Amino acid sequence: MEKQSIELIQCKDWTKKHIKLEDLANSYKKLNHFDLRHISHHPKNILEYLQIKSSLAEIENIIECDKEDFVLRKTLYIRSDEIMDLSMSTNLKQIKPNIFRYEDMKIVIVEIKG
Per-residue pLDDT, 6: 80
Cα–Cα dist 14/35, whole Å: 26
The structure's pTM equals 0.70
**In the chain, where are the structural domains located?**
5-109
In 3D, which of 54, 95, 102 has the Cα closest to residue 75?
102
| pLDDT tens, position by position, 49-95 | 777 788 888 878 777 776 677 788 899 988 876 777 766 778 889 89
